[in-house]
């Protein structure tokens, strides 16, 4: 009897005889079967991949445990295919996936950074152009003010020139009138003198 008991113990799977309820993971193997009952003769519910997270419900004491998947499926699996920690291969695959996601995110951030830098360059360029336009506008405003001042001065000078021309015309008319009067006076006195000289000549001839 003792020998038979030892043989039964040796044939049983390693690990705790009664697996306590808790979270377990499928071992580092491609996949295992989830069955409706605690034996290989029961129908397969689904295939479980390595690293699948399972919640242990109970243990039948014969190497089979009833489990529940995260999707809500329940069934039986061999206890020896379960471990308490995530398998190393699954962790490695997760780390590689996380690294790939990080690299993808980094590449996306670099693109966004390049776009932001481009926008900053465009913004600085626009700010520079705006400052230039403001400077030109300020100069243009100053030029407009100076131009307006010159226009007012030109109008003043034009008015003064008009008055000067009017005065010149008036003076020229006065000069012409004076010349006319002087000329008329000269002719008048010349006529008188001619008459007088003519009378004297006549008298001298009579004598």
CATH class assigned to 2-86: mainly beta
CA gyration radius, the chain: 63
Local structure of residue 13 (DSSP, 8 states): P
Instruction: Say which residue, 95 or 159, is predicted with more confidence.
Output: 159
At which residue do the structure tokens 């039948």 appear? 60
pLDDT digits (tens, 9 = 90+) for 143-188: 888 888 888 888 888 888 888 888 888 888 887 777 788 877 777 8
- Mean pLDDT (the chain) is 78
pTM of the model: 0.38
The candidate with the shortest Cα–Cα distance to 53, out of 94, 23, 19, 89, is 23
The domains of the chain are located at 2-86
Residue 79 CB neighbours (<10 A): 24
pLDDT digits (tens, 9 = 90+) for 101-125: 888 888 888 888 888 888 888 788 8
pLDDT digits (tens, 9 = 90+) for 10-27: 444 444 444 567 777 676
pLDDT score at 28: 67
pLDDT digits (tens, 9 = 90+) for 65-82: 999 998 999 999 998 888
């Amino acid at each position: 009897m003792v020998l038979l008991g030892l043989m039964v113990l040796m044939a049983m799977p390693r690990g705790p005889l009664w697996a306590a309820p808790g979270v377990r993971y499928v071992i580092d193997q491609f996949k295992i079967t989830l069955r409706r009952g605690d034996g290989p003769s029961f129908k397969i519910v689904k295939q479980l991949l390595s690293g699948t997270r399972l919640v242990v419900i109970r243990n039948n004491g014969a190497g089979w445990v009833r489990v529940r998947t995260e999707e809500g499926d329940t069934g039986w699996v061999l206890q020896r295919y379960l471990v308490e920690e995530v398998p190393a291969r699954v962790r490695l695959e997760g780390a590689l996936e996380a690294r790939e996601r990080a690299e993808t995110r980094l590449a996306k951030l670099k693109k966004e950074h390049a776009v932001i830098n481009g926008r900053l360059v465009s913004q600085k360029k626009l700010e520079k152009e705006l400052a230039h336009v403001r400077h030109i506008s300020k100069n243009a405003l100053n030029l407009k003010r100076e131009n307006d001042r010159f226009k007012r001065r030109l109008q003043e000078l034009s008015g003064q020139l008009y008055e000067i021309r009017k005065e010149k015309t008036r003076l020229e008319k006065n000069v012409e009138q004076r010349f006319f009067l002087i000329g008329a006076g000269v002719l008048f006195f010349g006529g008188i003198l001619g008459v007088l000289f003519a009378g004297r000549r006549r008298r001298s001839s009579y004598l």
